[in-house]
Structure 1
């Protein structure tokens, strides 16, 4: 039996990808501010507010996978064939496209075949082109998913303990990343370990909690939904506490512990784990409330927007660096004051979001090419087309 569509996840996807663009625009502007200035601190706080998006994307990836496959017959071979086709193709294609895109604006770019090939191979191995780390981590999840599914089914009775243990482990991993890694000399470690630690931000263990949390959430979906939806005020209160804790941590790290700007807003630090979980839960709660009224006349236009941007969110993720580059280039050429330039931030975010969304939608309609944005379309075979036309005529 086909599972009921999770409309609330559509809203989460649409909002999370918007948050991703917010983070990247704000980070770009933040880099131009004077350290410890009001603008710098304000940009830092806004960036941290939206920085839950990385973890939230991982969370809904795990949620949708386990929700889809937890209660149905499962074949590892069929799963891998289907899933890897929809993510390996975009990964390879966008690795190549990003290299070519970089060459169009980077002065002195080496266009020789040898350099292009070596860059392409290295990029495939390291996912170092823009934000393709998410696709690499997703492929790692797909690889271990059959084992995770089997284990979590067997451990259903102790899911709360699994959740708690995974949460504590994630805090320890983030603590290691923030407090230990800055002092580790990778040159003194075995090569395999040095490589693993260097690329830890694209290794599945770094995000293990989000996949486990998404899985447990999916496998106990109705129970969690009944509990949370009746406690909207509690969710709002917890979000406020989470934001206060987030901002308090920032000021403590920046002014008390004298962390560098980048370290204070780093997404891979302990405070981001509870905050990102709270933010994701809040979005999900809003999504469930919307899903109940989405078909009402007063919500139709908004519901259409949510469905559209939720449906092309993966394509927006892949396309938005290119869209953002050109939108920012145009904004930078405008002869306006610094204040007006900063006031353009919401406009840049909105234009990038919409442009990338429509571009992703258009690409998704092109047969075969659509695979690069994770959409399956095929050219209709002549014989089948003629047979279908004959049936329609009769």
Structure 2
């Protein structure tokens, strides 16, 4: 799980910053933004599916066709999250430009520190469970897997997210330069992603370097990154369209789901893939489904945002879930691992399928929430949850969701703010793959 991180040349950074800043001034960017509660709901719903993907892929039996069809429908998550990341980044940047010399250090601190910390945790945990090699071998494994995003099956997403951060000046430049012709930009990005996915799924890429590193390379998700950025440039019109076409979007989601399931059975019956292999996220049809379900979740988000009552229990719960989601994402595979393997397969031997999937899902959410809540109250909060630790004032309520009703702080990667994207895993890839 690695990828070539597309780095910008250091000697060009200053020029790029000056160019972006000058363009921002000329464009008279928006000076204020409301919090997009629509995005909170989109993030939470997609995150729910991330946990669903990982629990299902680890608990489905070889003949659980229904679970594998469900897994196929949940494999959109990486695409939607990369679109979400690009949307929030560009939307925020257009309103409040930040020089790259300030943007990059802050972003890499809030994402890079948890990435390195959890890479170490997962590598050490694996070693403790099955000790092999020397301490030197363990250190080497940590270095290699951290550089390649392969310390655990979900951490590559952060590696790709950091590639997106590196490319922010290029993405913003492309969006500005192609205004009035964004359809051409989208078409080009679609051709790149569809071509790469077709090569991966139908070609011989599985026997080449791309087959090994496909999911760790940002260009594999070109269309969704560009689509999110373009949507941010047309945010007002885009969200208005979603609000006024919810019924149509619902029908489009159903039609796309039918196409997805139809292609699933084509892969099984004609392509002779396994029930699991037929639902791989790395296939061109996933682009259609990712767009449909992403907009569908956003439509639900607009419905919620239009009816949200500040200070209500539901509003506080949604705010808290969005706030905690990055930490839960980072830790939930550890809970899966402990439940299914460290415990000598006790859960699998006790609970039959398909109930095993449901029970595991609930236990994983509970365990990951507990880990995140504890971590948020310690100086290790930044490393374990991506959020800076803030000591609670004496007398403040502990653990209540009321704190989430405050305006999100800029610089928190896991908040729901439009000014800072929350990195979440879109990857449903199981360690079984």
Could you tell me which residue of structure 2 aligns to residue 166 of structure 1? 189
**Unpaired segments ≥5 residues, structure 1:** 187-193, 381-394
C-alpha offsets along residues 169-190 of structure 1, whole Å, 9 cap, x if unaligned?
2211111111113564x3xxxx
State which of 195, 209, 226 in structure 1 corresponds to 2:240.
Answer: 226
- Structure 1 residues 261-280: aligned runs within 5 Å: 261-280=275-294
* 1:11 pairs with 2:11: no
**Unpaired segments ≥5 residues, structure 2:** 1-30, 393-433
* 1:152 pairs with 2:175: yes
8 Å CA contact 1:364–1:371 kept in 2: the answer is no
- Structure 1 residues 301-320: aligned runs within 5 Å: 301-320=313-332
8 Å CA contact 1:316–1:356 kept in 2: the answer is yes
Could you tell me which residue of structure 2 aligns to residue 392 of structure 1? none
How much has 1:295 moved relative to structure 2?
A: 0.7
8 Å CA contact 1:371–1:377 kept in 2: the answer is no
How far apart in 2 are the matches of 1:170 and 1:336? 41
* 1:133 pairs with 2:147: no
How far apart in 2 are the matches of 1:217 and 1:323? 36
TM-score, normalization by structure 1: 0.85
User: Measured at CA, do residues 222 and 118 of structure 1 come closer, stay the same or move farther in structure 2, by a change above 3 Å?
Assistant: same
* 1:95 pairs with 2:123: no
How much has 1:332 moved relative to structure 2?
A: 4.3
How far apart in 1 are the matches of 2:388 and 2:298? 27
State which of 257, 260, 281 in structure 2 corresponds to 1:243.
Answer: 257
Could you tell me which residue of structure 1 aligns to residue 137 of structure 2? 115
How much has 1:372 moved relative to structure 2?
A: 3.1
* SS at structure 2 position matched to 1:43: helix
How much has 1:261 moved relative to structure 2?
A: 3.7
8 Å CA contact 2:32–2:95 kept in 1: the answer is no
Could you tell me which residue of structure 2 aligns to residue 190 of structure 1? none
Residue range with higher mean Cα deviation, 85-94 or 148-157: 148-157
User: Measured at CA, do residues 89 and 236 of structure 1 come closer, stay the same or move farther in structure 2, by a change above 3 Å?
Assistant: same
TM-score, normalization by structure 2: 0.78
* SS at structure 1 position matched to 2:112: helix
* 1:60 pairs with 2:84: yes
Could you tell me which residue of structure 2 aligns to residue 189 of structure 1? none
Could you tell me which residue of structure 2 aligns to residue 321 of structure 1? 333
How far apart in 1 are the matches of 2:218 and 2:227? 14
* 1:282 pairs with 2:306: no
- The structure with the largest helix share of the pair is 1
Could you tell me which residue of structure 1 aligns to residue 386 of structure 2? 374
How far apart in 1 are the matches of 2:344 and 2:37? 35
Cα RMSD between the aligned structures? 2.2
State which of 305, 313, 336 in structure 2 corresponds to 1:291.
Answer: 305
8 Å CA contact 2:38–2:301 kept in 1: the answer is yes
Aligned length: 360
* SS at structure 2 position matched to 1:234: helix
How far apart in 2 are the matches of 1:27 and 1:331? 19
State which of 140, 146, 151 in structure 2 corresponds to 1:124.
Answer: 146
How far apart in 2 are the matches of 1:183 and 1:287? 38
8 Å CA contact 1:137–1:203 kept in 2: the answer is yes
User: Measured at CA, do residues 238 and 123 of structure 1 come closer, stay the same or move farther in structure 2, by a change above 3 Å?
Assistant: same
User: Measured at CA, do residues 257 and 368 of structure 1 come closer, stay the same or move farther in structure 2, by a change above 3 Å?
Assistant: closer
How far apart in 1 are the matches of 2:212 and 2:358? 34
How much has 1:325 moved relative to structure 2?
A: 2.0
How far apart in 2 are the matches of 1:51 and 1:335? 24
How far apart in 2 are the matches of 1:228 and 1:197? 36
8 Å CA contact 1:52–1:272 kept in 2: the answer is yes
How far apart in 2 are the matches of 1:8 and 1:335? 38
Could you tell me which residue of structure 2 aligns to residue 191 of structure 1? none
